[in-house]
Amino acid sequence: MNKPNLLYVDIETLPAPDHLRPVIQEQYDRQPGRSTSFEDYYRGTALNANFGQILCIGYALNDAPAEVLEGDEPDQLKKFWKIAAQADLLIGHAILGFDLPFIIKRSVILGIQPTKIYTLTREGAPGVFDTKKAWDIGAGPAISLDVFSKIFNLPTSKIGIDGSQVYDFFLNGRQSEITAYCARDVELTRSIYLRLTQNAQYSTNLET
């Protein structure tokens, strides 16, 4: 029996493009009792697929080194879906709550047709393994990728940068550091997945 193709994924995102700032301003002005500045609200759109943008998509297929798609967002998405067509299992940290919905929504908004259909529900999705969801079964708070690295004694991906700094690094032209960070997240996710699935608790249910 052939081994399944495993695709590890991580994305980095940016706030809404400048031409949507007036729309974001309207949204902000409608917030009653707002306690954040407009700039902080605008930066928060990096986590909102309705307005935010994908800066890069990191991926690794099976044992291959992590690679990163960059540049034009529609082109990134087209390339990603071609790669995803080879995958039997899509793997990421918080991929069900963030990365995959973001990719799907941006694909719809930009008119990019997927090569695979992922049916997302609150319980999970066939063909997707979320390391965060798999671990967060109680007895502790939700786990971050960095905490995972510490409890499993794995190299951290946060070397000089973390997710909260991506936009500032982008504004300062430090794209190569963002790309390297994204690739490290993919490599760390793969290491965590392999550690989890060495245990029978996880190896018997790979689509959780």
Give 141-196 as a DSSP string. PPPPHHHHHHHTT---S-SS--GGGHHHHHHTT-HHHHHHHHHHHHHHHHHHHHHH
- Does residue 155 lie within any of the structural domains? yes
- Asked whether the predicted pLDDT for residue 99 surpasses 80, the reply is yes
- Asked whether the predicted pLDDT for residue 76 surpasses 80, the reply is yes
Query: Residue 67's domain spans which residues?
Result: 6-203
- 63 by Cβ neighbours in 10 Å (0-12 / 13-18 / 19+) ranks as exposed
- Does residue 208 lie within any of the structural domains? no
User: pLDDT-derived band of residue 202, with 50, 70 and 90 as boundaries?
Assistant: confident
Beta-bridge mates of residue 52: none
- Does residue 97 lie within any of the structural domains? yes
- Asked whether the predicted pLDDT for residue 23 surpasses 60, the reply is yes
The count of domains in the chain is 1
Q: What is the pLDDT of residue 198?
A: 87
pTM of the model: 0.93
C-alpha 69/C-alpha 76 separation (Å) is 6
Q: What is the pLDDT of residue 142?
A: 83
- Asked whether the predicted pLDDT for residue 204 surpasses 70, the reply is no
Q: What is the pLDDT of residue 208?
A: 44
Q: Where are the beta strands (DSSP E) in the chain?
A: 6-14, 53-61, 67-69, 89-92, 128-130
pLDDT digits (tens, 9 = 90+) for 121-175: 777 788 999 999 989 876 667 899 999 999 999 999 999 999 899 999 999 999 9
Yes or no: say if 105 and 98 are a contact pair by the CB < 8 Å rule.
no
- Does residue 44 lie within any of the structural domains? yes
End-to-end CA distance of the chain: 22
CATH number of the domain encompassing residue 192: 3.30.420.10
- Does residue 140 lie within any of the structural domains? yes
- Does residue 94 lie within any of the structural domains? yes
